[in-house]
Amino acid sequence: MTAPVLRARGVRIRHDGSERTTPDGVGLEVRPGEVVLVLGPSGSGKSTLVLALNGLVPHAVPATLEGSIVVDGVETASTTVAELSRRVSMVFQDPDAQIVTGTLLDEVCFGPENLLVPVEAVLARAEAALRQVGLWERRHENPDRLSGGGRQRLAIACALALDSAVMVLDEPTANLDPVGIDEVYAVLERLVQTGEHALVLVEHNLDAAIGLVDRVVVIDRDGRPAFDGPTRSVLRDNMEALVGMGVWLPSAMLAGRRLRAAGHPVPELPLTPTELTALLDTLVPPASAVPVGAAAGSTEIDGAVELAPAGNAVSVRGLRVVKGRSEILHGVDLEIERGAFVAIVGTNGAGKTTLLQSIAGVAAPPRGTVEVLGIDPARVDVRRLARTVGFVFQNPEHQFIRGTVADELAHGLELQKTGPAEIERQVGRMLERFGLTAQRDVHPFLLSGGQKRRLSVGTALIAGAPVLALDEPTFGQDRERAAELLDILNGLNAGGTTVLVVTHDLQLVADHASHVLVLDAGRVAAYDRTAAVLASGALEAAGLAPPPLVRAFRAAGDPAWHALTRLADLDAPSASRSPAEEAP
């Protein structure tokens, strides 16, 4: 067996000013050509650990590091980050925060130039790297013109140009839409096939990653090492422990687990969508798992919708929106019934956010084109609007305007001229509902990511708005935060709130939305119940790829599986819950 290029032993890291030590005693070995996935729940210190691999911890991020990390024979603690960059390269989560120069070529050359590589060698490396990620033809363009997936491929090319033995990728697809995720993994797959690169990956999107991974290292909630070994055996042998820990697993595996719980013979859990399809072909679809067409919608979440009184929450008629010189929406007609959970999907630039902002009155639509519960957002004042529709921005910080959590919630009620006693009562109720009672006097900016998100939903709801609109609420968040938010939204929806969500996450759509609205180039391509839209091929027609689970079901030989779209469809009545719901 070859010697590891990277060996970490007993790594303990404590950020300055923090009480917690995460990771706490974790070891890691990476051999040439190997792909190692680091898994763990939020707060386990995965990202901190990988930042230590190229010396950013402790050299650039103030923290104390114990234990030893040796890369290519060099101890990271006693070597500069610049020197280590020849050995370990990094790709971060946010593609925008990694671009320094003005053209793709300059960007890729940036690293080798800093290392004083001679000009000819810089250019040779840059060309090879850009060709590997398929961007050589665009080398003279400004990186701003690339899509999110394109910019992340550029970041990979920049890492390749450093010619390092190990490449570390920290949640490289968390900020990307499904098309971007596919692009990045297509590139990574080619890299792995060359066998020349060792990769260390932190990733929540396991459906895309799992096919590449040789070995998994699991860190538990306290930052302690939990498991370390070959992918299949670690995941299959310890699945229940991993689910209990709050670690996200490939959806094919969770589907297999549910099938097993429903009484199907599942000798070996599938890891990839392809394996799930192969498994399905060996099974007999039960009668109960054959919801076709309209019947598919009438399970669980949708039950509440059926009982709700008819009537529309939102009517849109001939909505055209012009921004600058171009028309974004070309005459949208839409009726959304009360109590629906609507997901608005579409490729970038399809007009999703514009439509949502028009409905919620964030950007006033032309008069007489939008009606929300009897009012026209273009004509009413902020006070009336806030009582009717609440809007949650993508980044919760953008909408915080007061100095404490309690004031933040009270603000909406003060606008409504509510009495102080009533404000106090309602704020207290809202704090309790969103688990923020202990933080009532904290500045909103000092909350954790999840708390900020909950507060932003609370402020949108406190004036009593029966319609809630959210713009990409799960973008850039890890799975656990996303699941927590969706639980809140499901609860609100069950209580009668009409929820509208713009999102890229199509599995979220399949699992939670009652209706899907597909926008394509400023027009409504489809609007119907979720199952009907997923089965209709409207997503593909609008340039979107269906979620992995849907693809796996649809690829099965027996058409009885084709209409299934989500994990819950597989449940026998007594089956256990998904890890999202079990995570605290």
Residue 110 CA to its chain's centroid (Å):
30
- According to CB under 8 A, which one of 37, 40, 92, 208 is a site residue for other proteins? 92
What's the number of CA atoms in the CB half-sphere (13 Å) around residue 518? Answer: 24
The rounded Cα 565 to chain-centroid distance in angstroms is: 19
Find out whether 315 and 326 touch, Cβ atoms under 8 Å: no
Distances (CA, A) of 140 to 103, 105, 108, 271: 5, 6, 11, 40
**Is the Cβ–Cβ distance between 456 and 421 less than 8 Å?**
no
Residue 89 CB, shortest distance to other proteins, in Å, is 7
C-alpha to C-alpha distance for 563 and 296, rounded to whole angstroms = 7
Task: Output 114 or 282, the one with its CB closest to other proteins.
Answer: 114
Candidates 393, 434, 527, 553: give the one binding other proteins (CB under 8 A). Answer: 393
Among 158, 209, 316, 342, binds other proteins (CB under 8 A): 158
Contact map string, positions 458 to 497, toward other proteins, x by CB under 8 A: -x--------------------------------------
* Cβ closest to other proteins, residue 411 vs residue 512: 411
Contact in structure between 157 and 128 (CB atoms under 8 Å): no
112 near other proteins (CB under 8 A): yes
372 binds other proteins (CB under 8 A): no
x-or-dash string of contact with other proteins, 399-438, rule CB under 8 A: xxx---------xx--x-----------------------
**Which span (77-85, 188-196, 212-220, 531-539) binds other proteins, by CB under 8 A?**
77-85
> How many residues would you count in the chain?
584
Backbone Cα Rg of the chain: 25
Selected from 230, 445, 448, 540, the binder of other proteins by CB under 8 A is 445
Closest CA to 242 of 262, 260, 217: 217
For the bound state, the minimum distance from the C-beta of residue 397 to other proteins, rounded and expressed in Å, comes to 5
Closest separation in Å from C-beta 357 to other proteins? 8
Residue 323 sits at φ, ψ, to 5 deg, of -120, 125
Our CB check for other proteins shows the closer of 395 and 536 to be: 395
Give yes or no for residue 449 binding other proteins (CB under 8 A).
Answer: no
Complex with other proteins: residue 96 or 268, whichever CB lies closer: 96
Closest CA to 57 of 41, 72, 73, 46: 46
If one asks whether residue 361 binds other proteins (CB under 8 A), the answer comes out as yes
The token duo for 71 is: 């890369």
Nearest to 171 by CA among 98, 108, 237: 98
| Number of CB atoms found within 10 A of residue 562's CB | 16
How is residue 384 written in tokens? 């009336």
Rule CB under 8 A: choose which of 21, 44, 48, 98 binds other proteins.
98
Q: Per CB under 8 A, does 248 bind other proteins?
A: no
Minimal distance in Å, beta carbon 438 to other proteins?
22
Cα dihedral 267→271→275→277 (10° resolution): 100
Candidates 70, 74, 123, 128; binder of other proteins (CB under 8 A) is 123
Q: How many CA atoms lie within 13 A of 444 on its CB side?
A: 24
Q: Which stretch binds other proteins (CB under 8 A): 117-125, 182-190, 423-431, 475-483?
A: 117-125
Options 36, 314, 340, 360; binder of other proteins; rule CB under 8 A: 360
**Residue with Cβ nearer other proteins (105 or 219):** 105
Q: What's the token pair of residue 70? A: 């040796």
> What is the number of helices (H) and of strands (E) in the chain?
24, 19
64: left (phi over 0), alpha (psi -120 to 50) or beta: beta
If one asks whether residue 136 binds other proteins (CB under 8 A), the answer comes out as no
Side chain identity at 104, as an amino acid letter? L
Binding of other proteins at residue 283 (CB under 8 A)? no
Q: Under the criterion CB under 8 A, does residue 379 sit at the interface with other proteins?
A: no
| Stretch in the footprint of other proteins (CB under 8 A) among 83-91, 130-138, 327-335, 511-519 | 83-91
363 binds other proteins (CB under 8 A): yes
- Least separation in angstroms between CB 330 and other proteins: 18
Count residues contacting other proteins (CB under 8 A)? 67
Per CB under 8 A, does 190 bind other proteins?
Answer: no
CB-CB neighbours of 214 under 10 Å: 17
How would you classify the pairing of strands 341-345 and 88-91?
unpaired
Three-state helix/strand/coil letters over 115-136:
CCCCHHHHHHHHHHHHHHCCCH
Residue 119, interface with other proteins (CB under 8 A)? yes
CA angle 26/58/107 to nearest 5° reads 105
Query: Per CB under 8 A, which region of 33-41, 355-363, 368-376, 542-550 contacts other proteins?
Result: 355-363
**What is the x/- site pattern for other proteins, positions 44-63, by CB under 8 A?**
-------x--x-x--xxx--
Indicate the SS3 state at residue 55: coil
Is position 341 an interface residue for other proteins (rule: CB under 8 A)? Answer: no
**CB-CB contact of 250 with 232 (8 Å):** no
Q: Considering only the stretches 105-113, 183-191, 255-263, 333-341, report the one whose residues sit in contact with other proteins under the rule CB under 8 A.
A: 105-113
Asked whether position 322 contacts other proteins by CB under 8 A, the answer is no
Q: State the residues that interact with other proteins by CB under 8 A.
A: 51, 54, 56, 59-61, 80-83, 85-86, 89-90, 92, 94, 96-103, 106, 109-119, 122-123, 140, 142, 144-145, 158, 162, 357, 360-363, 382-383, 385-386, 391, 393-395, 397-401, 411-412, 415, 445, 459
